[in-house]
Every structure is written in structure tokens, then in C-alpha cells.
Amino acid sequence: MLNCPRCASADTVKSGIKIGRQRYKCKTWQYCFTISHKSDTAIPDQRRLALSLYLEGLGFRSIGRILGFSHVAVFQWVKTFGENLESIKRPAAQIVELDELQSYVGRTKTTAGFGLLLIDLANAFSMLSLAPEGS
């Protein structure tokens, strides 16, 4: 049995079910209480751990086995967390034409060399650097 949260006595008995939760009664204080949370519901720390494991690359079924929940529940947690991140989501990418780059590459006589495309996402800035081979 559970210990009484008021007096920590182990002298408790079951006392019915209230809103789907088992109630207990302390024989010493005649105090009725329920468990703090259902055994099949996740506390926020478990949900954050599930999200961290998902971001590390584990699958829903693996996370479910580790935490003791169904893979469907883990999927729902991750999905809900993703829907709540509206403020962090980046705006949709814009279509950019690269016709100047295509005409420049088409005019060059040598195809040897390498290019380096730098993109700064924070400032929405991109730069293309072309260098001939051997430099």
C-alpha cells in the first residue's frame, strides 16, 4: 500500500475510485487521498526526455520501450511540441533566380576549379566565391 501523505503512516486501505483514480484512506487520520499522478501518464520531465531522445535520432518505438510508454504516445508528444513552436519556426523559403550565375558559368571556358557558397541564415545573406584551380 501507499504511505499517507499527511502522517507518512503505512496503515492505509483502498477506499474506492474517484474520476478513474484509486483512492486510499489513512486509518490513523481518516484522511482520503489519491496518488499524485496516474501510472500511465507522463510527467513533463519524461516528455522532455522523449523529445531529447527523438532529436538525438532514436525512433518512436525505441523511446517508448525506454520510457515505458507506447510509441503512439511518444509520437503525439513530439507532434504537439512541434505544433507549439510557431514562434521559432522559420518563414517559408523564397524562390530566388540564379540566371546571372548560370550565364556566368556558361561564359567561362574552363570548367576546372571549385566554388564555395556561404549562407548566413541569421542575416539572410549569401555569397558565392569562385576560384580557379591551383589558387
pLDDT tens-place string over residues 22-43? 899 999 888 888 876 555 567 8
Average pLDDT score, the chain: 74
Which residue intervals of the chain are DSSP H helices? 44-55, 60-67, 71-83, 99-107
28, 51: one domain: no
* β-pairing verdict for 114-120 and 125-131: antiparallel
30, 52: one domain: no
pLDDT tens-place string over residues 61-114? 999 999 988 899 999 999 888 887 765 666 665 555 555 555 655 666 655 555
Cell numbers found for residue 12: 492505509
Task: Give domain status of residue 89, yes or no.
Answer: no
Task: Give domain status of residue 3, yes or no.
Answer: yes
The structural domain count of the chain equals: 3
pTM (two decimals): 0.41
Q: Which domain holds residue 31?
A: 1-36
Does residue 123 have a pLDDT over 90?
Answer: no
79, 103: one domain: no
3, 21: one domain: yes
**What is the C-alpha to C-alpha distance for residues 134 and 77, in angstroms, rounded to an integer?**
53
